Amino acid sequence: MKKVLSTVALAVSAFVSTSAVAANEVNVYSYRQPYLIEPMLKDFEKNTGIKVNVIFADKGLVDRVKQEGELSPADVLLTVDISRVMEIVNAGLAQKVDSKVLEKNIPAQFRDSNDQWFGLTKRARVIYTSKDRVGKLPAGFDYLDLAKPEYKGKVCVRSGKNSYNVSLFAAMIEHYGEEKTKKFLEGLKANLAQKPQGGDRDQVKAIKEGICDYSLGNSYYYGKMLDDDKQKAWAESAIINFPQGQYGTHFNISAVAIAKHSPNKANAVKLVEYLSGDKAQQLYAELNHEYPVKEGVSPSKLVKGWGEYSADAIKLEDIAKNYEKALKLVDEVKFDDVK
């Protein structure tokens, strides 16, 4: 059912076959690990008879599709983070999709106004705290509070240039403007317990080891750590908190686009519509510890147990337009330059 590649250096001929544009197939290029989406794709195959071929790319997906040009077999492009899906759109590699199903299933906040990309799952950018040294944060605690002087030496984050952090900073620019966001970044940098490094889970590990008391991270990593015997103790040492300041909790997405030169567009649209439906959304929620993007579909029991939240209502498009500004601010404050 799938083809998994660790790089994108293989030639198009390695994937294209005489059946690649057959009416009963659809070709998926994915930044998402195959095991995370395989259950949904198998169910889609079972119910439609359409075979799904998957290529996994850990990086360089956009460059690959560019190089393949009009001969690209790619039908569906699966990605994570608003910045990556906008990279696809801005490179001219996506096409408009008119679908009443997608319009109904996916709230306007989480899809492109030009119908070139669609969110499939949501992930919150949360604040992790030490269970023993801090406990649950008080109501109203916001991202901005992490820059207050009283938290000096108590905060851990991954690189300020990581897309998950940049998306949060881009949302802050939309809400507060560049000057206030820059001051926040300066304050946050001053409060770091160590040089930005590793991934979101590494920050929770640092909480477990007593290096810091607070960290930023995506919500689904909490579930992933609990699923991993080697990392379970990290998660159990921390509490997940949803910032509830003026604008609520920042959410990002995993997303999908139909490739510009899709040879199997009809099948591609069917697949994307399926992924936005109740069954696939529920599978996503159970397997990946993410929040369904479709309203009315409940998160998993585990995720629901993390608590209630008020989500930021900002459109993902508005975050995307501030992405380069946010990156510039990260550079200006030399955020990652911590000794």
Task: Calculate mean pLDDT across residues 254-278.
Answer: 97
Structure confidence at residue 210 (pLDDT): 98
Spatial distance between the Cα atoms of 109 and 111, rounded to a whole number of angstroms: 6
Give the pLDDT band of residue 7 (cuts 50, 70, 90): very low
Beta-strand pair 214-218/51-56: unpaired
Break the chain down into helix, strand, coil percent, rounded to 5: 45, 15, 40
Q: How many helices (H) and strands (E) does the chain have?
A: 14, 9
Spatial distance between the Cα atoms of 57 and 4, rounded to a whole number of angstroms: 8
Structure confidence at residue 18 (pLDDT): 40
In tens, the pLDDT along 199-246 reads 999 999 999 999 999 999 999 999 999 999 999 999 999 999 999 999
Structure confidence at residue 43 (pLDDT): 94
Which letter, b or e, does each residue of 60-80 get, where b requires 16 or more Cβ atoms within 10 Å of its Cβ?
ebbebbeebeeebbbbbbbbb
Weakest-pLDDT range from 28-32, 34-38, 172-176, 313-317: 34-38
- Is the pTM here over 0.85, yes or no? yes
Task: Calculate mean pLDDT across residues 247-268.
Answer: 97
Environment class of residue 101 by beta-carbon count within 10 Å: exposed (0-12), middle (13-18) or buried (19+)?
A: middle
Amino acid at 10: L
Dihedral (CA of 230, 234, 240, 243) sign: negative
- DSSP notation for 152-177: TT-EE-S-TTSHHHHHHHHHHHHHH-
Structure tokens at 206: 């640092």
Structure confidence at residue 8 (pLDDT): 36
Percent of the chain with pLDDT over 70: 93
Task: Calculate mean pLDDT across residues 171-186.
Answer: 98
Residue 293: strand pairing partners = none
Q: Is 256 left (phi over 0), alpha (psi -120 to 50) or beta?
A: beta
Structure confidence at residue 23 (pLDDT): 63
Do 159 and 327 contact (CB within 8 A), yes or no? Answer: no
Do 4 and 56 contact (CB within 8 A), yes or no? Answer: yes
Structure confidence at residue 308 (pLDDT): 93
**Residue 271: strand, helix, or coil:** helix
179 contacts: CB under 8 Å, gap ≥ 6: none
In tens, the pLDDT along 92-139 reads 999 999 999 999 999 999 999 999 999 999 999 999 999 999 999 999
What is the average pLDDT value for the chain, to the nearest integer?
Answer: 92
- How far from the centroid of its chain's Cα atoms is residue 316's Cα? 12
In tens, the pLDDT along 276-289 reads 999 999 998 899 99
Spatial distance between the Cα atoms of 189 and 333, rounded to a whole number of angstroms: 8
Structure confidence at residue 100 (pLDDT): 97
Structure confidence at residue 151 (pLDDT): 98
Dihedral (CA of 282, 287, 290, 293) sign: negative
149 contacts: CB under 8 Å, gap ≥ 6: 187, 190, 191
Weakest-pLDDT range from 79-83, 312-316, 329-333: 79-83
Give the pLDDT band of residue 16 (cuts 50, 70, 90): very low
Helices (H), the chain: 34-48, 61-68, 82-90, 100-105, 163-176, 178-190, 200-208, 220-227, 232-236, 265-275, 278-288, 301-304, 316-321, 323-332
Q: What is the DSSP letter of 250?
A: E
In tens, the pLDDT along 139-161 reads 999 999 999 999 999 999 999 99
Structure confidence at residue 339 (pLDDT): 77
